[in-house]
Amino acid sequence: MPHIHRRVLAAAAMASLVALTGCSSDLPADGPGSGASSDAGKGADGKKKTGDQSSFFVQADYEAQLAMRTKQPTGPADKPWEQSIDPQPVDTAKYKKAGPYKLCFSNAATNNPWRQVGWKTMQAEVAAHKEIADFTVLDAEGKDDKQISDIAELTAKGCDALIVSPNTTATLTPAVKGACPKVPVIVFDRGVGTDCPVTFIKPIGGYAFGADGAEFLTQKVKPGGKILALRILPGVDVLETRWSAAKKTFDDSKLDVVGVEFTDGDAAKTKSIVTNYIQRHGKIDGLWLDAGATSVAAVEAFEDAGLPVPPLNGEDQQDFLQKWKDAKLTAIAPTYPTYQWRTAVIAALKILKGESVPKVWNLPQPAITEDKLNDYLKPGMPPLHYALCGCEKMDGYPQKWGGK
Amino acid sequence: MRRNLPILGVLAVLLVAIAIANPFFLEPEGFLAFVKRAAPLAILAAGQYFVIVSGEFDLSVGSLVTAEVVIAARLIDGDPGATWPVVLLLLAFGALIGLVNGMVTTLLKVPSFIVTLGMLLILSGAVFLWTGGSPRGALSEEFRQFGRGSLGPVPWSVLILVAAVAAVIALMRSDFGRTLLAAGDNPVAARLSGVRVLRVKTTAFVLSGLSAAVCAVLLGGFAGVSAKVGEGLEFQAITAVVLGGVALGGGRGSAVAAIAGAFTLQALFTLLNLYGISGALEFTVQGLILVLAVALGSVQFPRRAKSASTTA
């Protein structure tokens, strides 16, 4: 008898659990930007379904980046890593000295494929210059505290120029400030909160990246179409800017953003999330991603569900470009070119030779469109290779980059 | 069979609820897609069942799954010829981890909770060290077939699940199954009546490691290389087993009910998703189930003497 009693209890508990959790779907959307609230759409209070604007959003930077996309860069057209948009040259005569040079580099990390491709490209650039006698590198392994001590150590090693790729913006600013008076500093990729470095090298930026993908969807998806936005994680400036530009585009469009989810940049999580949305909404009409690493997993979710793949954006990773071609996707690939790793070395040498460099070196940041797909798809390169490495004519290509 | 009734009833209710929310579920394709998604967890729950019914825990399976997928990607590196050797290697690695867990638990008398928690940390740390935070290499298309492809209309993962369930039922009906239950129910009595408790318990851990390897092949095939694929799986597996009415502490519960528990959990997730409740709440639901199920299970104190003989 107690057994039966227990089973009834268990069944009742399960039933009430289901009822309880089922009920909560009727609650209004909770917080802004929360993935769970996505299904509520535009709330009764007229709040945007994409949530509040990111605290990282700066209107002036946004407008400047969007404008830069159509500007003609100066410099050799066949070497985009030497080009710049809107350059404001600074005089470097006071840094001029005779070679050979000792270059130093404080690297934030090599913990993702994008950084691995960039790092290989940078090494190849250094190898191409005989005037660089020594290249000392410290890898901070993604830790702010290690990079702070790395920069201090390199500053004391008699470097002729110091290249820094900061791990985070705010925390590394004092370390860079400390190095500036002792050695010419070149910062690239992520920025720092001081203008003491001689030059700061970056592609146009995250707003342009995010807008490229979102604008493509507004053109390709019919009004009212359901859009799923996939982000890696919140709170990182270079990713927040991508999403905030896309959010602006979507808010001004007639598209219906049914969800904004965080994937941690993970293929398995991405595929599950997209599969869940397909199940829940029947279909999804467009897919926006803040980085290309998980695009292929998202595409597979549609393939495995037996549905056509909707328009989407990826990045210049080989696996996505290959999928794009093989499955004849409707896609665009905004980029954040890895060739900027070359530019950092070139800038250091220019400074030491007394040649002027732009104060902010804005590199061109092309988006790969369907008509240019074949130019960027490189057969034989590994799936995690980034096409915009600018490394095709360097010594050791393609083997050094893992190609055949 | 009577022992499985409560969980099968709950599962049936959930399946009906899903079918009402999403009629596509009633079509063969829709249902097979559900089984395909539940298969990895069901297999992992079957492995966890052996350990739990023998009176122990295996918390290491989640990070073991991650380690297996990362190793597979690194070793295969896109080469189709490496597929089968690597699959065999994965199975061997899973069994080896299970063997280590089992031997440390039984021979060194360290509580399995601690042994497998330690193994969880060791494996996830090793994976991070080896990959530097981003897994390298690629799985071959042939490897991906296990988790993505199908034989006619039936996904491979469903066929693998059917084979695994058959093997589990056969095992529990054999001498091994009876001795496993006896060892979990009362290790001293079992030892006195001639059961080699240490060997039986170690075998249970090896089976759990093997199930994690099979689960890794299916999940790696499903989504490709990922350093987070196994995250939280150990808790899902334990929740599934507990939901199936298997007593923590060992000795009681059926393997079929544990597998049904995995399906129930997956059905619950599916239902929550259909009603627009995603991700974050899954953990809350899992936690509620775990606590409720164990609390309800411990209400009943007078134990039936014959419980050890009820198997799948």
- Work out the average pLDDT over A81-89: 94
Listed by number, the residues of chain B in 61-80 with a beta carbon closer than 8 Å to a beta carbon of chain A are 78
| Residue B94 within any structural domain of the chain | yes
Q: What pLDDT score was predicted for residue B259?
A: 95
Q: Which of A147, A260, A370, A99 is nearest to B279 (CA)?
A: A260
pLDDT at B3 over 60: yes
| Residue B276 within any structural domain of the chain | yes
Cβ of residue A280 closer than 8 Å to a chain B Cβ: yes
Please state the domain count of chain B: 1
The C-alpha of B103 sits at a distance from chain A's nearest C-alpha, in angstroms, of 32
Q: Which of B61, B83, B87 is nearest to B237 (CA)?
A: B61
pLDDT at B245 over 50: yes
Using the structure block, give the residue that is written with the tokens 């005037």: A131
Listed by number, the residues of chain B in 146-185 with a beta carbon closer than 8 Å to a beta carbon of chain A are 148
The C-alpha atoms of residue B279 and residue B218 are separated, in whole angstroms, by 21
Record: contact B279-A384, CB cut-off 8 A: no
Beta bridge partners of A338: none
pLDDT at A10 over 80: no
Q: Using CB atoms, pick whichever of A11, A268, A273 lies closest to residue B229.
A: A268
Question: Which stretches does DSSP call E strand in A192-308?
Answer: 199-203, 226-231, 256-262, 286-289
pLDDT at A28 over 50: no
The C-alpha atoms of residue B189 and residue B168 are separated, in whole angstroms, by 25
What residues of B are in contact with residue A384 (Cβ under 8 Å)?
A: 136, 138
Cβ of residue A296 closer than 8 Å to a chain B Cβ: yes
Q: Using CB atoms, pick whichever of B276, B288, B299 lies closest to residue A39.
A: B276
| Residue B303 within any structural domain of the chain | no
Cβ of residue A30 closer than 8 Å to a chain B Cβ: no
Q: Using CB atoms, pick whichever of A266, A279, A296 lies closest to residue B228.
A: A266
Q: What pLDDT score was predicted for residue A255?
A: 95
Q: Which residue has the higher pLDDT, B51 or B248?
A: B51
| Residue B307 within any structural domain of the chain | no
Record: contact A35-B279, CB cut-off 8 A: yes
Record: contact B148-A266, CB cut-off 8 A: no
pLDDT at A170 over 90: no
Determine contact, residues B212/B94, Cβ cutoff 8 Å: yes
Q: Which of A333, A330, A328 is nearest to A293 (CA)?
A: A333
What residues of B are in contact with residue A261 (Cβ under 8 Å)?
A: 278-279
Which amino acid is it at A129? H
pLDDT at A35 over 50: no
Record: contact A269-B228, CB cut-off 8 A: yes
pLDDT at A230 over 80: yes
Determine contact, residues A346/A326, Cβ cutoff 8 Å: no
pLDDT at A27 over 60: no
Q: Which residue has the higher pLDDT, A234 or A215?
A: A215
Q: Using CB atoms, pick whichever of A3, A10, A276 lies closest to residue B278.
A: A276
- Work out the average pLDDT over B107-115: 95
Give the dihedral sign, CA B119/B124/B125/B129.
Answer: positive
pLDDT at B305 over 50: no
Q: Tell me the three state secondary structure of residue A188.
A: strand
Listed by number, the residues of chain A in 103-162 with a beta carbon closer than 8 Å to a beta carbon of chain B are 109-113, 116, 141-142
CATH classification at residue B166: 1.10.3470
pLDDT at B224 over 90: no
Q: How far is CA A139 from the centre of its chain?
A: 20
pLDDT at A19 over 80: no
Domains of chain A in start order, with CATH, are 33-41+48-68+206-335+367-388 (3.40.50.2300), 72-205+337-365 (3.40.50.2300)
Grade residue A110 by pLDDT with cuts at 50, 70 and 90: confident
Q: What pLDDT score was predicted for residue B4?
A: 66
Range in A334-338, B8-12, B189-193, B225-229 the model is least confident about: B225-229
H-helix segments, A266-339? 267-281, 295-304, 318-326
Neighbours of B145 (CB within 10 A): 16
pLDDT at A22 over 60: no
Record: contact B132-A111, CB cut-off 8 A: yes
pLDDT at A169 over 70: yes
Record: contact B277-A24, CB cut-off 8 A: yes
Q: Between B112-131 and B83-107, two packed helices, what is the crossing angle to 10 degrees?
A: 140
Q: Which of B197, B187, B202, B195 is nearest to B103 (CA)?
A: B202
Grade residue B2 by pLDDT with cuts at 50, 70 and 90: low
Give, for A161, the enclosing helix (H) or strand (E): strand A161-165
Grade residue A41 by pLDDT with cuts at 50, 70 and 90: very low
Mean per-residue pLDDT of chain B: 88
Q: Which residue has the higher pLDDT, B188 or B132?
A: B188
| Residue B82 within any structural domain of the chain | yes
The C-alpha atoms of residue A99 and residue A65 are separated, in whole angstroms, by 37
* A-chain residue closest to B275, CA distance: A25
Determine contact, residues A87/A356, Cβ cutoff 8 Å: no
| Residue B161 within any structural domain of the chain | yes
Q: Which residue has the higher pLDDT, B303 or A192?
A: A192
| Residue B310 within any structural domain of the chain | no
The C-alpha atoms of residue A196 and residue B131 are separated, in whole angstroms, by 36
The C-alpha of A41 sits at a distance from chain B's nearest C-alpha, in angstroms, of 11
Instruction: Provide the ipTM.
Output: 0.77
Q: Which of B144, B121, B141 is nearest to B66 (CA)?
A: B121
Report residue A395 as tokens. Answer: 């010594």
The C-alpha atoms of residue B17 and residue B3 are separated, in whole angstroms, by 23
| pLDDT 10s digits, A247-290 | 999 999 999 999 999 888 888 889 989 998 998 888 899 999 99
pTM: 0.80
- Work out the average pLDDT over B3-11: 81
| Residue B203 within any structural domain of the chain | yes
What residues of A are in contact with residue B224 (Cβ under 8 Å)?
A: 267-268, 271, 296-297, 300
Grade residue A12 by pLDDT with cuts at 50, 70 and 90: low
Q: Using CB atoms, pick whichever of B9, B222, B276 lies closest to residue A11.
A: B9
Listed by number, the residues of chain A in 199-228 with a beta carbon closer than 8 Å to a beta carbon of chain B are none
The C-alpha atoms of residue A378 and residue A368 are separated, in whole angstroms, by 13
pLDDT at B193 over 70: yes
| pLDDT 10s digits, A323-351 | 999 999 999 999 999 999 999 999 999 99
Q: What pLDDT score was predicted for residue A25?
A: 37
The two most distant CA atoms of chain A are separated, in Å, by 95
* A-chain residue closest to B14, CA distance: A18
Cis, peptide link before residue A100, omega less than 30° from 0: yes
Range in A27-41, A220-234, A246-260, B202-216 the model is least confident about: A27-41
pLDDT at A37 over 70: no
* A-chain residue closest to B303, CA distance: A3
The C-alpha atoms of residue A7 and residue A13 are separated, in whole angstroms, by 10
| pLDDT 10s digits, A350-370 | 999 999 999 999 999 999 999
H-helix segments, chain B? 5-21, 28-53, 61-76, 83-107, 112-131, 141-148, 156-173, 175-185, 187-192, 197-223, 233-243, 255-274, 280-299
Cβ of residue B37 closer than 8 Å to a chain A Cβ: yes
Beta bridge partners of A227: A257, A286
Cβ of residue A382 closer than 8 Å to a chain B Cβ: yes
Record: contact B289-A10, CB cut-off 8 A: no
Record: contact A6-B299, CB cut-off 8 A: yes
Neighbours of A55 (CB within 10 A): 8
Provide the domain limits for residue B264: 2-298
Q: Which of A70, A64, A96 is nearest to A360 (CA)?
A: A64
Record: contact B132-A280, CB cut-off 8 A: no
The C-alpha of A271 sits at a distance from chain B's nearest C-alpha, in angstroms, of 6
- Work out the average pLDDT over A222-226: 95
* A-chain residue closest to B267, CA distance: A18
Record: contact A17-B271, CB cut-off 8 A: no
